[in-house]
A = this chain, B = another copy of it.
Amino acid sequence: MKQACVHSFPMTHPADVAALAAELAAGRIAARAIAGIIVKTEGNGLDNDWTRVMAWDALVALLRAHDTEPSVQRMSIIVSGGCEGVTTPHMVVFECRDVPAEHPPGRALAIGHAVSEPLLPEQIGTAAQVASTCLAVERAMQQAGLAREEVEYVQVKAPWLSEVHQQAALARGVRLKAADAHASKPWTRAACALGVALALGEATPAQASEAAINSDASVFTRRAAVTAGNDTLQNEVLVFGMSSGWAGSARVAQASLADLLDAGAIHDALARAGLPPRGAQLPAALQSQVRAVLFKGDPARSGLLRGERQLMWHDSDVHALRHLRAVMSGVIGAVTGTTRVFVSAGAEHQGPPGGGTFAVFVDAAAQA
């Protein structure tokens, strides 16, 4: 039987993998059982953020030292920068252990991982990528033994069009959706998000059509976050849900935020994960049960929030997404009490526009 464990480690510098290394060395985590790692590093989270490379290199070296090549077939590693506001640099490690069969009393966190076949560069941002992502999500659900309605959250690492792919496409004379890696990110994220929506039944094939990609904002998934950065042109998928077929005390619950101040949605997700806040914030005694919180969202393009003027898009000295991450560390921290928040922007078809998607992972057995 499988048991999912969610580990959280603070980081004292961008290449700090010491805490995970200690767990691996002590045998408390098995490198080969790791299905995914999500890292929040302390750079600006924008174009020239090298802290992501530092974390990536350190993780790869650590895993190899434990005889585990972190290939996309084996696990997804997502490294994202930007610890604005009160955010603490940290990493979340998702582990799938084999445990003696038991008859668990209820449902527990289930994790599935899958990766699509490589796409062609010209398929990025098209219906082909939507379909390919949909299939990968279905395979990951199958692996985890999760039905559609049991899936709470899907984390996708989407392929982007790096220089290499640009050159290859040019040589073959095909047209791409975007002329560089940066410009390809909205396209690959959007196609992946629609693929998840399709797989989870949140959109019909007609709705999640090629024409809808980055065009019809009314079509979206409430249960996914997509990060661009895969160099192998494959869609990497981590599916999280609640299943009676998995053991252990870990849980996950999702919510979609209607706007950036939708604290009620975060509150509801905590309650569904078995941690009902009292008053404004989760009581301190329960906060240690929170293993991870993930948010994906964007400031509204209108420049308004609840009808009120917003300045994020008009600050030429501090990037809008740095504002976003700072403010969401406050909103999420206010409800959950934690500073280990993973906030990421670029939420095409992920949650309602101007809002976003949220997931909380808890472990009822965790000690402070």
Give the interface of A toward B (CB within 8 A).
Answer: 10, 12-15, 42-44, 46-51, 53-54, 83-89, 260-261, 263-264, 266-267, 277, 279-281, 305-306, 308-312, 314-319, 322-323, 326-335, 337-340
Contacts and interface: CB of A to CB of B under 8 A. Distances in A.
B85 A10 contact: no
Given A85-B326, A85-B330, A331-B334, A316 B319 contact: yes
Given A50-B50, A330-B330, 20 more contacts: A10-B308, A14-B50, A47-B314, A48-B311, A48-B315, A85-B312, A85-B323, A85-B326, A88-B308, A88-B310, A263-B281, A264-B281, A280-B334, A308-B340, A317-B317, A326-B326, A327-B329, A328-B330, A329-B330, A330-B331
Contacts of A12: 309
Given A48-B314, A326-B85, A334 B335 contact: yes
Contact of A263 (B318, B335, B340): B335
A263 to B, nearest CB: 4
Given A280-B263, A280-B264, A334-B263, A47 B327 contact: no
A89 B334 contact: no
A323 B84 contact: yes
A333 B331 contact: yes
A12 B53 CA distance: 14
Contacts of A331: 330-331, 333-334
A326 B47 contact: no
Contacts of A263: 280-281, 334-335
B89 A261 contact: no
Contacts of A315: 47-48, 84
